[in-house]
Amino acid sequence: MKNMITVRNEQPSDYRWVEEIIRKAFWNLYVPGASEHLLVHTMRSHEDYLPELSFVIEQEGEIVGSIHFTRAWIVTPAGDQIPIVHLGPVAITPELHRQGLGRVLITHAIHQARALGHRAIVLGGFTYHYHPYGFVSTKKWNISMPDGKFYTGIMALPLYDGALDDISGTIKLSDALYPDGSTLEAFDASFPPMEKLTLPHQKEFERAVAQVDED
Ligand SMILES: CC(C)(COP(=O)(O)OP(=O)(O)OC[C@H]1O[C@@H](n2cnc3c(N)ncnc32)[C@H](O)[C@@H]1OP(=O)(O)O)[C@@H](O)C(=O)NCCC(=O)NCCS
Protein backbone atom coordinates (compact mmCIF):
# COMPACT_ATOMS: atom_id res chain seq x y z
CA MET A 1 0.00 0.00 0.00
CA LYS A 2 2.87 2.38 0.65
CA ASN A 3 2.89 5.30 -1.73
CA MET A 4 -0.02 3.86 -3.62
CA ILE A 5 -1.54 6.61 -5.74
CA THR A 6 -5.11 6.46 -7.02
CA VAL A 7 -7.36 8.93 -8.78
CA ARG A 8 -11.13 8.64 -8.47
CA ASN A 9 -14.26 10.77 -8.84
CA GLU A 10 -14.97 13.13 -5.98
CA GLN A 11 -17.83 12.01 -3.69
CA PRO A 12 -19.98 14.22 -1.43
CA SER A 13 -18.26 12.73 1.63
CA ASP A 14 -14.95 14.16 0.30
CA TYR A 15 -16.19 17.74 -0.03
CA ARG A 16 -15.04 19.22 3.26
CA TRP A 17 -11.59 17.62 3.22
CA VAL A 18 -11.10 18.68 -0.40
CA GLU A 19 -12.03 22.26 0.50
CA GLU A 20 -9.48 22.18 3.33
CA ILE A 21 -6.76 21.11 0.90
CA ILE A 22 -7.75 23.70 -1.69
CA ARG A 23 -7.71 26.39 0.99
CA LYS A 24 -4.24 25.37 2.19
CA ALA A 25 -2.86 25.10 -1.37
CA PHE A 26 -4.03 28.59 -2.36
CA TRP A 27 -3.60 30.35 0.99
CA ASN A 28 -1.57 33.58 0.54
CA LEU A 29 -0.43 32.29 -2.84
CA TYR A 30 -2.01 34.77 -5.23
CA VAL A 31 -3.64 37.20 -2.80
CA PRO A 32 -3.66 37.47 1.01
CA GLY A 33 -5.88 34.57 2.12
CA ALA A 34 -7.73 32.56 -0.53
CA SER A 35 -11.19 32.18 -2.07
CA GLU A 36 -10.81 28.97 -4.11
CA HIS A 37 -12.35 26.79 -1.38
CA LEU A 38 -15.51 28.91 -1.56
CA LEU A 39 -15.37 28.72 -5.34
CA VAL A 40 -15.40 24.92 -5.34
CA HIS A 41 -17.98 24.81 -2.55
CA THR A 42 -20.49 26.86 -4.57
CA MET A 43 -19.49 25.55 -8.00
CA ARG A 44 -20.64 22.04 -7.18
CA SER A 45 -24.29 23.06 -7.11
CA HIS A 46 -24.14 25.14 -10.31
CA GLU A 47 -25.76 23.85 -13.49
CA ASP A 48 -22.47 24.26 -15.38
CA TYR A 49 -20.53 22.05 -12.98
CA LEU A 50 -19.20 18.78 -14.41
CA PRO A 51 -19.15 16.23 -11.57
CA GLU A 52 -17.99 13.49 -13.94
CA LEU A 53 -14.76 15.48 -14.38
CA SER A 54 -14.13 16.16 -10.69
CA PHE A 55 -11.41 13.98 -9.30
CA VAL A 56 -9.49 13.49 -6.10
CA ILE A 57 -6.03 11.96 -5.89
CA GLU A 58 -5.24 9.71 -2.95
CA GLN A 59 -1.89 8.72 -1.57
CA GLU A 60 -1.98 5.75 0.76
CA GLY A 61 -5.75 6.11 1.01
CA GLU A 62 -5.75 9.81 1.96
CA ILE A 63 -6.96 12.55 -0.37
CA VAL A 64 -4.05 14.87 -1.19
CA GLY A 65 -5.44 16.85 -4.11
CA SER A 66 -8.38 17.62 -6.37
CA ILE A 67 -9.38 18.96 -9.76
CA HIS A 68 -12.66 20.49 -10.92
CA PHE A 69 -14.22 21.44 -14.25
CA THR A 70 -17.13 23.59 -15.44
CA ARG A 71 -18.70 24.14 -18.83
CA ALA A 72 -17.31 26.97 -20.97
CA TRP A 73 -17.89 28.15 -24.53
CA ILE A 74 -16.24 29.80 -27.47
CA VAL A 75 -18.57 32.44 -28.87
CA THR A 76 -17.92 32.78 -32.59
CA PRO A 77 -18.26 36.05 -34.54
CA ALA A 78 -21.54 34.63 -35.92
CA GLY A 79 -22.80 34.25 -32.34
CA ASP A 80 -22.61 30.45 -32.14
CA GLN A 81 -21.57 29.02 -28.77
CA ILE A 82 -19.16 26.11 -29.15
CA PRO A 83 -19.05 24.04 -25.94
CA ILE A 84 -15.70 23.38 -24.32
CA VAL A 85 -14.70 22.81 -20.67
CA HIS A 86 -12.80 24.90 -18.13
CA LEU A 87 -10.20 23.32 -15.85
CA GLY A 88 -9.80 24.70 -12.37
CA PRO A 89 -9.12 24.95 -9.65
CA VAL A 90 -6.58 22.18 -9.30
CA ALA A 91 -4.70 21.76 -6.03
CA ILE A 92 -2.25 19.43 -4.35
CA THR A 93 -1.63 19.72 -0.62
CA PRO A 94 1.39 22.06 -0.20
CA GLU A 95 3.62 19.55 1.65
CA LEU A 96 3.56 17.29 -1.43
CA HIS A 97 4.26 19.73 -4.25
CA ARG A 98 6.72 18.82 -7.02
CA GLN A 99 6.44 15.08 -6.44
CA GLY A 100 4.49 14.36 -9.61
CA LEU A 101 1.02 14.17 -8.01
CA GLY A 102 -0.35 17.14 -9.94
CA ARG A 103 0.88 15.53 -13.15
CA VAL A 104 -0.96 12.28 -12.39
CA LEU A 105 -4.16 14.14 -11.52
CA ILE A 106 -4.12 16.59 -14.44
CA THR A 107 -3.17 13.88 -16.95
CA HIS A 108 -6.02 11.68 -15.71
CA ALA A 109 -8.52 14.53 -16.02
CA ILE A 110 -7.35 15.39 -19.55
CA HIS A 111 -7.78 11.74 -20.62
CA GLN A 112 -11.26 11.62 -19.12
CA ALA A 113 -12.30 14.89 -20.77
CA ARG A 114 -11.13 13.48 -24.09
CA ALA A 115 -12.88 10.14 -23.47
CA LEU A 116 -16.13 11.99 -22.75
CA GLY A 117 -15.90 13.63 -26.17
CA HIS A 118 -15.15 17.21 -25.14
CA ARG A 119 -13.59 19.42 -27.79
CA ALA A 120 -11.08 21.40 -25.76
CA ILE A 121 -10.03 22.52 -22.30
CA VAL A 122 -9.47 26.16 -21.45
CA LEU A 123 -7.89 27.56 -18.27
CA GLY A 124 -6.11 30.49 -16.72
CA GLY A 125 -2.85 30.17 -14.85
CA PHE A 126 0.93 30.22 -14.93
CA THR A 127 2.30 28.90 -18.21
CA TYR A 128 4.88 26.78 -16.36
CA HIS A 129 2.09 24.79 -14.73
CA TYR A 130 0.31 23.94 -17.99
CA HIS A 131 2.78 23.98 -20.88
CA PRO A 132 3.96 20.47 -19.84
CA TYR A 133 0.54 19.11 -20.89
CA GLY A 134 0.43 20.91 -24.24
CA PHE A 135 -1.69 23.90 -23.24
CA VAL A 136 -0.80 27.02 -25.24
CA SER A 137 -2.10 30.58 -25.35
CA THR A 138 -5.49 30.78 -27.07
CA LYS A 139 -4.03 33.44 -29.35
CA LYS A 140 -2.88 30.52 -31.51
CA TRP A 141 -6.52 30.11 -32.62
CA ASN A 142 -7.50 33.77 -32.47
CA ILE A 143 -9.59 33.06 -29.39
CA SER A 144 -9.63 36.04 -27.02
CA MET A 145 -11.09 36.86 -23.67
CA PRO A 146 -14.40 38.79 -23.72
CA ASP A 147 -12.43 42.07 -23.59
CA GLY A 148 -10.94 41.17 -27.00
CA LYS A 149 -7.43 40.71 -25.55
CA PHE A 150 -5.16 37.68 -25.63
CA TYR A 151 -3.36 36.84 -22.40
CA THR A 152 -0.36 34.53 -22.07
CA GLY A 153 -2.01 33.00 -19.00
CA ILE A 154 -5.20 32.03 -20.86
CA MET A 155 -4.45 28.69 -22.47
CA ALA A 156 -6.26 25.91 -24.28
CA LEU A 157 -5.67 22.28 -25.14
CA PRO A 158 -7.56 20.79 -28.11
CA LEU A 159 -8.62 17.24 -27.26
CA TYR A 160 -8.54 15.83 -30.77
CA ASP A 161 -6.81 16.67 -34.03
CA GLY A 162 -8.05 19.94 -35.46
CA ALA A 163 -10.54 20.48 -32.62
CA LEU A 164 -9.99 24.24 -32.63
CA ASP A 165 -8.63 24.73 -36.12
CA ASP A 166 -11.66 26.38 -37.73
CA ILE A 167 -12.90 28.10 -34.61
CA SER A 168 -12.17 31.62 -33.42
CA GLY A 169 -14.02 33.99 -31.16
CA THR A 170 -14.15 34.84 -27.50
CA ILE A 171 -14.14 32.64 -24.42
CA LYS A 172 -17.26 32.60 -22.30
CA LEU A 173 -16.72 31.22 -18.81
CA SER A 174 -19.47 29.99 -16.53
CA ASP A 175 -20.94 32.19 -13.79
CA ALA A 176 -19.99 29.27 -11.56
CA LEU A 177 -16.45 30.71 -11.55
CA TYR A 178 -17.62 33.97 -9.99
CA PRO A 179 -19.13 33.15 -6.58
CA ASP A 180 -20.66 35.80 -4.36
CA GLY A 181 -17.57 37.10 -2.54
CA SER A 182 -19.67 38.61 0.25
CA THR A 183 -20.07 35.11 1.73
CA LEU A 184 -16.31 34.43 1.82
CA GLU A 185 -15.55 35.80 5.27
CA ALA A 186 -18.27 33.78 7.00
CA PHE A 187 -17.45 30.64 5.01
CA ASP A 188 -13.74 30.96 5.71
CA ALA A 189 -14.41 31.40 9.44
CA SER A 190 -15.73 27.81 9.49
CA PHE A 191 -12.18 26.55 8.72
CA PRO A 192 -9.16 26.45 11.05
CA PRO A 193 -7.69 29.94 11.54
CA MET A 194 -4.89 30.92 9.16
CA GLU A 195 -3.18 34.28 8.90
CA LYS A 196 -3.71 36.41 5.80
CA LEU A 197 -0.41 37.86 4.63
CA THR A 198 0.67 40.20 1.86
CA LEU A 199 3.71 38.57 0.30
CA PRO A 200 6.08 39.60 -2.51
CA HIS A 201 5.25 36.64 -4.79
CA GLN A 202 1.61 37.74 -5.01
CA LYS A 203 2.81 40.57 -7.29
CA GLU A 204 4.09 37.95 -9.72
CA PHE A 205 0.55 36.62 -10.05
CA GLU A 206 -0.88 40.09 -10.64
CA ARG A 207 1.65 40.60 -13.42
CA ALA A 208 1.02 37.14 -14.90
CA VAL A 209 -2.75 37.51 -15.15
CA ALA A 210 -2.46 40.92 -16.80
CA GLN A 211 0.24 39.90 -19.28
CA VAL A 212 -1.02 40.37 -22.83
CA ASP A 213 0.24 37.84 -25.39
CA GLU A 214 2.35 39.91 -27.83
CA ASP A 215 3.87 36.98 -29.76
C1 LIG B 1 -0.21 23.49 -9.54
C2 LIG B 1 -0.11 22.22 -8.67
C3 LIG B 1 -1.46 21.52 -8.68
C4 LIG B 1 0.95 21.30 -9.32
O5 LIG B 1 1.00 20.13 -8.55
P6 LIG B 1 2.39 19.39 -8.22
O7 LIG B 1 2.08 18.04 -7.70
O8 LIG B 1 3.23 20.28 -7.40
O9 LIG B 1 3.01 19.28 -9.70
P10 LIG B 1 3.97 18.14 -10.29
O11 LIG B 1 5.01 17.77 -9.29
O12 LIG B 1 3.14 17.03 -10.83
O13 LIG B 1 4.63 18.93 -11.49
C14 LIG B 1 4.37 18.59 -12.86
C15 LIG B 1 5.13 19.59 -13.73
O16 LIG B 1 4.49 20.88 -13.69
C17 LIG B 1 5.50 21.90 -13.70
N18 LIG B 1 5.47 22.61 -12.41
C19 LIG B 1 4.71 22.33 -11.32
N20 LIG B 1 4.93 23.22 -10.34
C21 LIG B 1 5.85 24.10 -10.80
C22 LIG B 1 6.49 25.23 -10.25
N23 LIG B 1 6.22 25.68 -9.01
N24 LIG B 1 7.40 25.87 -11.01
C25 LIG B 1 7.69 25.45 -12.26
N26 LIG B 1 7.12 24.37 -12.84
C27 LIG B 1 6.21 23.70 -12.12
C28 LIG B 1 6.83 21.18 -13.91
O29 LIG B 1 7.03 21.02 -15.31
C30 LIG B 1 6.55 19.84 -13.27
O31 LIG B 1 7.38 18.81 -13.74
P32 LIG B 1 8.83 18.58 -13.03
O33 LIG B 1 8.62 18.60 -11.53
O34 LIG B 1 9.23 17.25 -13.57
O35 LIG B 1 9.68 19.71 -13.49
C36 LIG B 1 0.35 22.55 -7.23
O37 LIG B 1 1.58 23.23 -7.30
C38 LIG B 1 -0.63 23.40 -6.43
O39 LIG B 1 -1.55 22.88 -5.80
N40 LIG B 1 -0.40 24.74 -6.41
C41 LIG B 1 -1.23 25.64 -5.63
C42 LIG B 1 -2.54 25.87 -6.30
C43 LIG B 1 -2.36 26.34 -7.73
O44 LIG B 1 -1.60 27.24 -8.02
N45 LIG B 1 -3.12 25.70 -8.67
C46 LIG B 1 -3.03 26.04 -10.08
C47 LIG B 1 -3.82 27.22 -10.43
S48 LIG B 1 -5.56 26.80 -10.68
pLDDT tens, 34-88?
999 999 999 999 999 999 999 999 999 999 999 999 999 999 999 999 999 999 9
**Is 155 close to ligand 1, i.e. is its CB under 6 Å away?**
no
Residue 61 falls inside a structural domain:
yes
Nearest CA to ligand 1 atom 39: 91
**Is 76 close to ligand 1, i.e. is its CB under 6 Å away?**
no
Give the model confidence (pLDDT) of 147-163 as tens digits: 999 999 999 999 999 99
Ligand 1 atom closest to the CA of 105, numbered from 1:
12
Residue 53 falls inside a structural domain:
yes
Cα of 203 from ligand 1 centre, angstroms = 19
Nearest CA to ligand 1 atom 9: 102
pLDDT band at 206 (very low <50, low <70, confident <90, very high): confident
**Is 100 close to ligand 1, i.e. is its CB under 6 Å away?**
yes
Residue 148 falls inside a structural domain:
yes
User: Half-sphere exposure of 158 toward its Cβ, with a 13 Å CA cutoff?
Assistant: 13
Decide: 46 and 72 in contact? Cβ < 8 Å: no
**Is 153 close to ligand 1, i.e. is its CB under 6 Å away?**
no
CATH code (residue 144): 3.40.630.30
Pairing of strands 62-75, 81-92: antiparallel
What range does the domain containing 126 cover?
Answer: 5-179
The pTM of this model reads 0.97
Residue 155 falls inside a structural domain:
yes
73 sits in which H/E element: strand 62-75
Going from the C-alpha of 76 to that of each of 5, 28, 124, 138, 173, the distances in angstroms are 41, 37, 20, 14, 14
